Amino acid sequence: MQTMKKGKWLEIVTPSYWDGFTIETIVKAQIGVPKKLLHELRLENGIKLNNQVVPWQTVVKKMDRLYIKCFKEESFGVVPEDLSIEVLFEDDHLLIVNKPIMLDTHPNESDQTGTLANGVAYHWQLTGIQAKVRHIHRLDRETTGAIIFAKHALASALLDQMLEKREIKRSYTAFVEGILRSKKGTINESIGRDRHHPTRRRVSATGQKAITHYEVLRVFRQDQVTKIKLQLDTGRTHQIRVHLSHTGHPLLGDGLYGGTHSLIQHQALHAFSVSLKHPITKEDIHVEAPLPLDLFQLENNLK
């Protein structure tokens, strides 16, 4: 889809398959603008056709230009802080960065700094973007890898919808204790809170549905370690950690869930790729985050 940022407006050159639809049908059914944003756009005349404010029942023709006001100046919501973040992908609508080790995704308290969100705010400040920092998903403090941020409310809402529909595919690399019996498999076990521990989760029949797929990539028999690839159908808190621990193969370095190996001092988990259809342009996006140095060295030292 042909799009362009023009000041506060997103210009969309209407494709042939929108020909004959009304503006209202396009923004609701074709683009998927949620109700709250639709209401705001109505109140502020935030949609134009061929640079004119017209009724939403106006029929659109191929090669018309539809304008949606979505690039608004907003407070970052966090304090900008120079953390030298690694950008994997960036355009007018979204940002994908490679989160380093021992960094929270976002502040857990209003005055907290030193999080990935603070680093994103600084990056946006440098590049002249004045928008709220909106993370689409999170990674644990000790987990590295690709995280998506949205640059405006529309992109955020559409990405949230995609995440809920499982249209954003995230793949992980992990090093686990022991040798797995099967080269491929699926762990389908519901996850709930552990009433004996404030932060830990556990497999629970009354918990939320959780599905994890795994595939063995490499076996280190001498050290009794397996490198695996993981993909999630759901996104429960600590899902990978809980599921692997439940199978008797906890992550290396994950003391909370039974990891005992001393080969590494933090959980050996990395979100190495993200794949999605761009929420605005509809392009296929595939991004890979290189393995962090300590996990790269770990793999080279394993036997």
Active site residues: 140
CA 218-224-228 angle, 5° bins: 30
Half-sphere exposure of 52 (CA within 13 A, CB side): 6
Amino acid at 242: V
What SS3 class is residue 207? coil
Residue 166, Cβ neighbours under 10 Å: how many? 12
Amino acid at 102: M
Whether the Cβ atoms of residue 273 and residue 287 lie closer than 8 Å to each other = yes
For tokens 């509809």, name the residue.
282
Instruction: Please give the Cα distance from 18 to 199 (Å, whole number).
Output: 48
Pairing of strands 269-277, 144-150: parallel
Q: What is the DSSP letter of 108?
A: S
Whether the Cβ atoms of residue 270 and residue 295 lie closer than 8 Å to each other = yes
Half-sphere exposure of 34 (CA within 13 A, CB side): 11
